[in-house]
A and B are shown apart, each in its own frame.
Chain A
Amino acid sequence: MAKAAKKTDTALAARLARQDHFRMLRLGTPFQPRIDALMQTSDWYDWAGYRAPHSVFDEELEYFAIRSQAALFDISPMVKYRIEGKDAEAFLNRVTLRDVRKLNTGRVHYTAWCDDEGHVLDDGTLFRLAAQTFRLCSQERHLPWLLDSAIGYDVKIAEETEEIAGLALQGPTSFAVLHEAGFAGVEKLKVFDLAEFAHDGGKVTISRTGFTGDLGYELFAPAKLALSLWDRLWKAGELRGIRAIGYAALNRARLEAGLIVANADFTTADNALRADRVRMPDEIGLGFMIDLEKGHFNGRNAIIKARASGSMQHVLVGLEVEDNIPAEHAIVYHRKTKEVGLVSAAIWSPTAKRNIALASLSRPYGDEVTDNLWVEIYAMRELKYERMMKRAKIVPRPFVKLARRTANPPGDF
């Protein structure tokens, strides 16, 4: 009884200690002091409740830091779950689309997961830190879904977003920076490899992953090691052109890489208020992940049924648009008249020197009918819409493929 009372007191004390969140609606990340010191544009945005830089000094130059030097991007706000236990592999195989048995320790894969109707709840990356220990990173929050799916599995699931700081170090000199920083053995990491390295009396997990289509790494460390990790990279990067960047620059790079963003390029099932906004993996270009041979997983039956009946209505495509005006959120037409889809993201690609876009089209457009597609661009110029109908061609993704991303050993620049 006394023990139970003490436990209650501890829980109460823990609750009472966390009341001040209403005073600071946007949290700082563990790297905030460093980013604040570098911040020149005061251009913040809300990333999952964190005060994150949209740009730091110049959106355009930040993009070139990704493609020419090394760019540091704070990914701490990304939602992170730690999944461990005897059945962790079997559990994740049940939840996600890909075959987790094929994901070896020390490897990462890009995956997605669905609700029972086969509608995508999110996409994300799964890190196998040890045989029975995984980290799942995602855009949205899924703890109830993960816990409900874990019934019958010997597995422990913990949300660790605040405890774990994350950094993306991306760009041609990113390897050289890590090497200079003394992470011995980092040259052995191939794309989607991960390893642990000593840092400041603790450990940092470095993976050769990223969201830029470039040579790059992601580093995860306990929040208390964040500042010393930043400083270590910053110092090592001094002669390699390291710059801190915001989301705007990253977004350009990810579009060139043809990568999609949840709730920007598709609506996740938990956020879809309108019944027709949900998407199956095949409809957003993630069908390749689905492994129907691995046994049951959430959404499997619905996906099999939809594939058999041909009932899926959408397809996500890469577009190359004529001319140079970005077609962001433009309506896509067939023969300039029939509305067949919407552009979710578009930029002029500095690296490809092409006008690129991601678009969601209604079938048969985008799979069987691929010719005669047009986008209607409204370009606001000095308080007037310049309206254009431009030809759009379906092209394979990524729009930009860089040999240095996968080169082994990784290059110096």
Chain B
Amino acid sequence: MKNWDAIIIGGGHNGLVNACYLQRAGLDVLVLEKNDWVGGAAVSRSLAPGFLYSNCSYVCSLFRPEIMRDLELPRFGLQVIAYEGGAVFTQDGDYLANYRDHHAHRREFSRFSARDAEAYDRYARDVTRQCRFIQPFLMRTAPDPTSLKPRDLGELLYLGKKFSGLGAAEMAQTLRFWTMSISEFLDEYFETDVIKANFSISGIIGTALGPMSPGTAYVLLHHYMGEVDGSVGAWGYARGGMGAVTKALAASFEASGGTIRTGAAVDQVLVRNGKATGVVLEGGEEVSAKLVVSNADVKRTFLKLVEEKELPDTFLRRVKNFKIRGSSGKVNIALDSLPEFPALPKDAPSIRGDLHFTDSVERMDRAYDDWKAGKWSADPFLDMMIPTTLDPTMAPPGKHFMSCFVQYCPPKVEGRDWTDADRDAFAETVVSQIADYSPGFRDRIVHMEVRTPRELEAEVGLTEGNIFQGELTFDQLLFNRPVPGYAQYRSPVDGLYICGSSTHPGGGVMGAPGRNAAVEILRDLKHSSKHMSPAHDVI
């Protein structure tokens, strides 16, 4: 029987990034994917003729350009196009737009508040300062603060040096940023409800917290530290949907000699004498390997794929308590024509950006209250966009694909499992909110894919449907992600590694966890990682 150098469990973007780097280091790598397609949560599937959906993740900013370059992803078809701002519709028939042009942006804000219009620069400065501080850490293994190894001490020193380089005021600001609520943070800059709602959005996406919950300010930062070709904080559409990211990764992987098996769900990681020796597939087939890397989240990996007896008690308890709460759903809609939003001027660029209907922080927090009660939000928060306004590849001319990220959506409905009827009612809540602002919307719908946490867990494999493979709260970041002592992509089982978003630096289609895990694996193999670019300098 063939003994692979490495098996990657799960063909999500991080699994594929990891696989690419290991294969290019000369290892013989096998990716096992349970679905009949690769991509995980970065996937584009056609569920209605002529239409391509970004079924889960739907926008791109965080994906590290170093990885795109190392793995030659443009050559394999990846192109990310920046999009054009967006808007929040207000209940009084107006809207607040975000424009790419600095001065148009200011003048737009001044429609609501002269003060807030001029507060944006300082806000942007403070957020950018924090992003510049964090960015270098995305592509570095988090140091173990309890370790006396020279490398950990060196990394801790680097962290300390960067931190003290911020200056006293900024250091205080950093600690506040990592622990405050996004609502409190924004109160320091802005006075207008809709403007605060506009910025709060990035603080709650994918997170089972409300805008008034401590810790959400960091989530905003997490969404600001990406870039589109050097334009820091910008977001874009991957041409061909987010599946273009994983398609390019898969093509790059195969071009370098890697092997992908789809329809191959892993049932168990084989452990002999405390060391991973391969996997057992559903159906019983055994595949052996010198090491195993799991792209699955930390709960799925250690509570489902590894036998409990192989794991230390403290580790197991911490993994069980790891916060990975489902909080969102996704509704993907094929439309036979471009929806109209009468509040928006016909030539406004906002239609080509992200659109929202939640015009106050309070409404957003009320939506969270529903989630706490075990219900999906009656008045949900939508992050809605129509990528086909810029991407001609996802729908026939004149027709459109609309992506609606929906929050909040609980993993269980009032404590019981989701039913199909629940799912349909959930979809109706979403459609009716859109229709309130877009007359005739229902008539344009050709097909709809509705994904509650139930579908996300079953199809994608994300525990509770949590898009980040674990909350991005300070207690679960850096050297505490996923759990203390295991933040360096290794596990209590020798030869079993984790490379998904459960690990540092966390979720989003970033690729950094997969890349960083490859560095550690190659280090253990005493193998060169010279083919891997270090993080771009932040100058």
CB of A25 within 8 Å of the partner chain: yes
Query: Contact between A143 and B93 (Cβ–Cβ < 8 Å)?
Result: no
Query: Contact between A273 and B132 (Cβ–Cβ < 8 Å)?
Result: yes
Query: Contact between B348 and A22 (Cβ–Cβ < 8 Å)?
Result: yes
Q: Which residues of B contact A15 (CB under 8 A)?
A: 94, 111-112
CB of B537 within 8 Å of the partner chain: no
- Segment at the A interface, from B119-127, B280-288, B385-393, B449-457: B119-127
Query: Contact between B94 and A12 (Cβ–Cβ < 8 Å)?
Result: yes
Which of A12, A22, A143: most chain B Cβ within 10 A? Answer: A22
Contact partner of B114 (CB less than 8 A), chosen from A46, A159, A271, is A159
CA distance A144 to B191 in the complex (A): 10
- Segment at the A interface, from B100-108, B210-218, B247-255, B292-300: B100-108
Q: Which residues of A contact B167 (CB under 8 A)?
A: 275
Which of B93, B111, B115, B118: most chain A Cβ within 10 A? Answer: B118
Which of A8, A15, A140, A147: most chain B Cβ within 10 A? Answer: A15
- Contacts A21-B107, A25-B103, A25-B104 given; indicate if A270 touches B121 (C-beta within 8 A): yes
Main secondary structure of the interface of B (DSSP, over half): helix
Query: Contact between A270 and B122 (Cβ–Cβ < 8 Å)?
Result: yes
Query: Contact between A159 and B118 (Cβ–Cβ < 8 Å)?
Result: yes
Query: Contact between B118 and A143 (Cβ–Cβ < 8 Å)?
Result: yes
CB of A18 within 8 Å of the partner chain: yes
CB of A272 within 8 Å of the partner chain: yes
Q: Which residues of A contact B93 (CB under 8 A)?
A: 12, 16
CB of B128 within 8 Å of the partner chain: yes
CB of A336 within 8 Å of the partner chain: no
CB of B347 within 8 Å of the partner chain: yes
> Which size bracket describes the interface of A in this complex?
20 to 34
CA distance A20 to B349 in the complex (A): 12
Query: Contact between A275 and B166 (Cβ–Cβ < 8 Å)?
Result: yes
In the assembled complex, the CB of B55 is this many whole angstroms from the nearest CB of chain A, namely 32
CB of B415 within 8 Å of the partner chain: no
In the assembled complex, the CB of B370 is this many whole angstroms from the nearest CB of chain A, namely 28
Q: Which residues of A contact B110 (CB under 8 A)?
A: 18
CB of B97 within 8 Å of the partner chain: yes
CB of A87 within 8 Å of the partner chain: no
Q: Which residues of A contact B102 (CB under 8 A)?
A: 49
CA distance A272 to B166 in the complex (A): 12
Q: Which residue of B lies closest to A18 (CB)?
A: B111
Contact partner of B115 (CB less than 8 A), chosen from A8, A49, A147, A271, is A147
Query: Contact between A272 and B125 (Cβ–Cβ < 8 Å)?
Result: yes
In the assembled complex, the CB of A280 is this many whole angstroms from the nearest CB of chain B, namely 14
Please report which residues of chain B, range 173-224, place their CB below 8 angstroms from some CB of chain A when the two chains form the complex.
189
CA distance A14 to B103 in the complex (A): 19
Query: Contact between A49 and B118 (Cβ–Cβ < 8 Å)?
Result: no
Please report which residues of chain A, range 1-20, place their CB below 8 angstroms from some CB of chain B when the two chains form the complex.
8, 12, 14-16, 18-20
Query: Contact between A117 and B115 (Cβ–Cβ < 8 Å)?
Result: no
Query: Contact between A19 and B345 (Cβ–Cβ < 8 Å)?
Result: yes
In the assembled complex, the CB of A388 is this many whole angstroms from the nearest CB of chain B, namely 27
CA distance A18 to B111 in the complex (A): 7
CB of B442 within 8 Å of the partner chain: no
CA distance A305 to B121 in the complex (A): 28
CA distance A342 to B101 in the complex (A): 30
Binary flags per residue of A16-59, CB closer than 8 Å to B gives 1, else 0: 10111111011100000000000000000010110000000000
Q: Which residues of B contact A142 (CB under 8 A)?
A: 118
Q: Which residue of B lies closest to A143 (CB)?
A: B118
- Contacts A22-B108, A23-B347 given; indicate if A270 touches B125 (C-beta within 8 A): yes
CA distance A144 to B103 in the complex (A): 17
Please report which residues of chain A, range 261-281, place their CB below 8 angstroms from some CB of chain B when the two chains form the complex.
270-273, 275
Contact partner of B108 (CB less than 8 A), chosen from A21, A117, A140, A271, is A21
Q: Which residues of B contact A158 (CB under 8 A)?
A: 114
Query: Contact between B104 and A21 (Cβ–Cβ < 8 Å)?
Result: yes
Query: Contact between A144 and B94 (Cβ–Cβ < 8 Å)?
Result: no
CA distance A25 to B165 in the complex (A): 37
Query: Contact between B132 and A16 (Cβ–Cβ < 8 Å)?
Result: no
Please report which residues of chain B, range 218-241, place their CB below 8 angstroms from some CB of chain A when the two chains form the complex.
none
Please report which residues of chain B, range 323-358, place their CB below 8 angstroms from some CB of chain A when the two chains form the complex.
345, 347-349
CA distance A158 to B118 in the complex (A): 12
Q: Which residues of B contact A273 (CB under 8 A)?
A: 125, 128-129, 132
Q: Which residues of A contact B349 (CB under 8 A)?
A: 22
Q: Which residue of B lies closest to A141 (CB)?
A: B118
Please report which residues of chain B, range 458-517, place their CB below 8 angstroms from some CB of chain A when the two chains form the complex.
none
CA distance A275 to B104 in the complex (A): 28
Which of A20, A21, A48, A147: most chain B Cβ within 10 A? Answer: A21
CA distance A273 to B166 in the complex (A): 10
Query: Contact between A117 and B118 (Cβ–Cβ < 8 Å)?
Result: no
Q: Which residues of A contact B520 (CB under 8 A)?
A: none
In the assembled complex, the CB of B126 is this many whole angstroms from the nearest CB of chain A, namely 10
In the assembled complex, the CB of B107 is this many whole angstroms from the nearest CB of chain A, namely 4
CB of B92 within 8 Å of the partner chain: yes
CA distance A387 to B4 in the complex (A): 58
CA distance A13 to B340 in the complex (A): 21
- Contacts A144-B115, A159-B114, A273-B128 given; indicate if A16 touches B94 (C-beta within 8 A): yes
Q: Which residues of A contact B381 (CB under 8 A)?
A: none
CA distance A46 to B112 in the complex (A): 24
CA distance A46 to B101 in the complex (A): 11
CA distance A242 to B311 in the complex (A): 87
Binary flags per residue of B413-445, CB closer than 8 Å to A gives 1, else 0: 000000000000000000000000000000000
CB of B51 within 8 Å of the partner chain: no
CB of B172 within 8 Å of the partner chain: no
Q: Which residues of A contact B148 (CB under 8 A)?
A: none
CB of B368 within 8 Å of the partner chain: no
CA distance A48 to B117 in the complex (A): 13
Which of A14, A16, A144: most chain B Cβ within 10 A? Answer: A144
Query: Contact between B99 and A22 (Cβ–Cβ < 8 Å)?
Result: yes
Binary flags per residue of A354-392, CB closer than 8 Å to B gives 1, else 0: 000000000000000000000000000000000000000
19 A-B residue pairs with Cβ-Cβ distance under 8 Å, sorted by A, are A21-B107, A22-B345, A22-B349, A25-B101, A25-B104, A27-B103, A117-B169, A140-B121, A141-B106, A141-B118, A142-B118, A143-B118, A144-B116, A147-B115, A271-B121, A273-B125, A273-B128, A275-B166, A275-B170
Task: Add 20 more A-B contacts to A16-B94, A141-B118, A143-B115 (CB < 8 A).
Answer: A15-B94, A15-B111, A16-B93, A18-B110, A18-B111, A19-B348, A21-B104, A22-B97, A22-B349, A23-B347, A25-B101, A49-B103, A49-B107, A117-B169, A140-B121, A143-B117, A143-B118, A144-B115, A144-B118, A275-B167
**Interface residues in chain A, defined as those with a beta carbon under 8 Å from any beta carbon in chain B:** 8, 12, 14-16, 18-23, 25-27, 46, 48-49, 117, 140-144, 147, 158-159, 270-273, 275
* Nearest 5 pairs of A and B residues by beta carbon: A49-B103, A143-B118, A141-B118, A275-B167, A21-B107
